[in-house]
Homo-oligomer: A and B are copies of this chain.
Amino acid sequence: MIVTVEAATRVAADLLESAGVPKDAALLQADLLVVAQAKGVPSHGLLRLPRLLRRIGNGVASATARGEHHWLTPAHLSVDGCQGLGPVVAMSALDAAEPAARRFGIALVSIARTNHLGMLSWYTEQLAKRGLVTIAATTSEALVHAHHGTNAVIGTNPISIAVPADQPVVLDMATSEVSMGKVHDYAARGEPLEEGWALDSSGRPTTDAVAASSGALAPLGPKGYALGVTLGALVAHLTPSATGTAVRGTLDDTESANKGDVFIVVDAAPATPVDAYLDEVRGSRPADPGVPISIPGERSSDRRRAAERDGLEVDDALWNELNDWPRTPQPHL
């Protein structure tokens, strides 16, 4: 089904408001989900809304919390998210940290006890558009096996880095070979996975998406494993959070969120013309003249513009579910 970005945002924001989320916060959360959908990351899109509404109904996500701010040092803001919505707590923290980044040159934001941040590039891209270099990392439920391991013990531990430019460079990558959202997607369509993506619950390689759902995702090779576990250690060191198989609260309806999130924000005048560098990369010799060389973030921005022009593709069943959602707060379990 094709719906306009405006309609999708309105439906999402209305549902959040009817669950008790203040209007500005509801719009922020709705925008995060719709932008992910528009950028071609449906696993971080509207699909996440029913879960969030159930979490609010079940009392494990707060409709109103914006986080408690504690400055540990002049440039390190530690935030207790108080189980608030991810984008509401994180954008509030980033707004508070921006003056520190401008004054000291760099600031650190560490967040615990907040709901799913969703697509990290939503945050880093906004800050890059304000002229700030931003690095974001977050932990997540154990879904990925170690290099030489066979059971899920590491999150998909994504990293996003955005750098100001005419059109900011926006990296956003998980450290697993593929996302669990993709595996679920293949399972729903009854399609086999590619070899090397996942193991089943007994640790054997599988292309059966259903078997992989209860197994483990492959890390992005030895280097992806190393990056993922290091980011996990970094987030653990900087936020009071659960680690490894103890992480809960972004893939279930009933448990408090206990992962951690970290942002580093840098304010510095551009020392070198980044756009000239990007132009040289874009202009390098292509393997196929029909396939352009793109800069990180470019293709998803193109998809977003297309969705804003032509409408957003939303799964029929999901769209019906959202439109039929009872417009009152959900009862506690």
Contact = CB atoms under 8 A, between A and B. Distances in A.
Interface of A: 72-76, 103-108, 110, 112, 133, 135, 145-151, 153-154, 161, 163-165, 169-171, 173, 203, 220-221, 223-224, 226-227, 229-234, 236-245, 260, 264, 266-268, 270-274, 276-278, 280-281, 284-288, 291-296
Assembly stoichiometry (copies): 2
Residue of A76, A231, A234 with highest tally of chain B CB at under 10 A:
A234
A229 B296 contact: yes
A6 B227 CA distance: 33
A164 B165 CA distance: 34
A103 B280 contact: no
A234 to B, nearest CB: 5
A332 to B, nearest CB: 29
Contacts of A106: 73, 75-76, 104, 106-108, 264
B281 A154 contact: yes
A135 B231 CA distance: 11
Contacts of A145: 284
A-B pairs, top 5 by smallest CB distance, nearest first, are A76-B105, A73-B105, A243-B277, A171-B230, A75-B104
18 contacts: A74-B103, A108-B266, A148-B292, A148-B294, A149-B286, A149-B293, A154-B281, A164-B237, A169-B229, A169-B230, A173-B227, A229-B278, A229-B296, A232-B277, A237-B272, A238-B268, A243-B272, A244-B280
